[in-house]
A and B are shown apart, each in its own frame.
Chain A
Amino acid sequence: MSESKLDARRLLCPMPVIKTQDRIKNLQPGDQLEVTCTDPGALNDIPSWCRIHGHEVISTHTEGREITIMIRVM
C-alpha cells in the first residue's frame, strides 16, 4: 500500500476532480492519496466523486485558502 500526494492548488473545479480521478485510476485498493487544492468547490466535489466511485475520504482539512483531502482507494 502506497501513500502519494497530488498538488491541485490554483486549479479550479472540475480540474482537481479530474486530476484526482486520473491519479486514482493508477492506484491500488488500500493506497492513500493526499490532494491539496485551493478551489473551495473541491471540498464538495472531491468527496462527492469519491462517494459515487466508492472511495473513502479519510479526512478533510482547511487551513487558510488551502484544502487537504485524504482519500483511501477502495
Chain B
Amino acid sequence: MSNTQRKAVSLISGGLDSMLATRVILDQGVHVEGINFYTGFCVEGHTHAIRAKDRKKAKRNNALWVAEQLGIKLHIIDVIEEYKDVLLNPVHGYGRNMNPCLDCKIFMVNKAQAWAWMEENQFDFIITGEVIGQRPKSQRRETMPLIARESGADDRLLRPLCAKNLPPTLPEREGWIDREAMYDFHGRTRKPQMALAESFGFTEYSQPAGGCCFLTDKSYSNKLVDLWQARGERNYDLDDIMLLKVGRHLRPAPHYKIIVSREEGENHYLSGYRNEFISLETRSHNGPIALLDGVPDEKDIELAASIVARYSQGRDADQVRVEVRMQNGNCRELTVKPLAPSDIISAWHV
C-alpha cells in the first residue's frame, strides 16, 4: 500500500449499495467525498414535500443522510439542463419505461470524473455502488467496461462491491486499495448487501423498489410521453416535470389537460402556478384546485369545471360554483353540474 492518502469521489444515491461501497473504501484509509446529481427526476424529497399525507414521513434527503452517517462531505450538483440530452437522446436507449439508465450512468460517471479531476479537487479515482447483474439495463457484465470507457473514467472507476468479478483497476494495481478487501457480489439478490450492512452496523438504510428515479415509473413515463405528444416536441423544463408528479392528470382532448389536486398539500403546491395556468377552484363546496395546461376554449373550461366539481365535496349536489382564474388574475364564476363518475372516460386519465 502507498503511504500517500489517496482521494476518491463516490457517487452517492442515498441507497444502500453506494453507502456500502463508500464504507468499504473509507476502511482502506482513502479520503472519500460524495457527489450526488440532481436531474429533476429524483424521487428524493419532492413528493414528501408536496403531499400532505406524506408529511408525517421523515423528510430527509437520503444522500445527505448517508453522507452524514459515513462522515463524509457530499456535493449536490444541479444537472437539470445537461440531463435533458441524456433523456431525449439516449445512445443506448430506454429501459422498460422512459428510463435511460445506461446513458444516465455514463453521464454521471463522466460528470463525477470532470468534477474529480478539477484542479481544486484533485481526486484519484471514482467509486460507485454498482453490482454486476443487479439492474437489467445498466448493471450487467457487458455494461461495466462500457460505462468505464464511455464515461472517460476508464480504469479509475472502481466498483468495490463487485471488483473481484472485474479486471483490476488502477487503484488496485497501484496498491491504493487492497483488491482482496473488495467484494464479488453479483446478481439481483440483496442478501450479500444486507449481510455487509449488518457487519458495518448499518441498521437503517433506504432501498427504494424502483430505484431513485421517477423515469422508472410507468405512470410517470406515460405522463411524460403524453406531454411531448400534446406539445408536438420532446422537451421540458423543471416545472413541467415537477407537475407530472402532482395530482390526477386528465386529457379530455389533445389540446388541453386538467391537473386536479388530490389533497391539501397538492392544493397548496398547484396554487403556486396560478399565474402560469388557467386555474379552477370550487367555491360553493370544499374541493380541489385544478390547472388547465394547453389552449382550452370556453366549452373545454366548462367541462373542466364539471370535472373539478366531481372531485369536490359537492359531487352529489345539483350545482357547484367553480371559480375560473385566468393567468392575469381575472376571475369569474361558473355554475356547473358535477360530472357523473361514469361520464369521466377512462381514456382521459393520463
List A residues at the B interface (Cβ < 8 Å). Answer: 10, 12-15, 17-18, 21, 39-41, 43-45, 48-49, 51-53, 65
Contact = CB atoms under 8 A, between A and B. Distances in A.
B272 interface: yes
Contacts of B98: none
A54 to B, nearest CB: 9
B136 to A, nearest CB: 28
Interface residues of B, number: 30
Contact of B60 (A12, A15, A21, A45): A45
Contacts of B58: 44
Chain A interface SS verdict (over half): helix
Q: Which of A10, A12, A51, A53 has the most CB of B within 10 A?
A: A12
Contact of A52 (B48, B50, B60, B73): B73
Contact of B272 (A10, A45, A48, A52): A10
A65 B74 CA distance: 27
A45 B45 CA distance: 10
B88 interface: no
A41 B65 CA distance: 12
Given A14-B44, A40-B59, A49 B74 contact: yes
A51 B46 contact: no
Given A18-B38, A40-B55, A52-B67, A13 B49 contact: yes
A16 to B, nearest CB: 10
Contact of A48 (B42, B65, B268): B65
A60 to B, nearest CB: 13
Contacts of A48: 60-61, 64-65, 68
Interface in B69-90: 71-78
Nearest to B34: A52
A44 B272 contact: no
B149 to A, nearest CB: 30
A12 B72 contact: no
Contacts of A40: 49, 55, 59
Nearest to A41: B59
Nearest to B265: A40
Contacts of A65: 268
A43 B61 CA distance: 11
Contacts of B46: 12-13
Interface string B243-274: 00000000000000000000000001000100
B242 interface: yes
B60 A41 contact: yes
Interface string B15-45: 0000000000000000000001010001011
Contacts of A41: 45, 48-49, 59-61
Contacts of B60: 41, 44-45, 48
A21 B46 CA distance: 19
A13 B38 CA distance: 10
B15 to A, nearest CB: 15
Contacts of A53: 73
Contact of A14 (B50, B71, B76, B272): B76
B75 A13 contact: no
Interface in B110-160: none
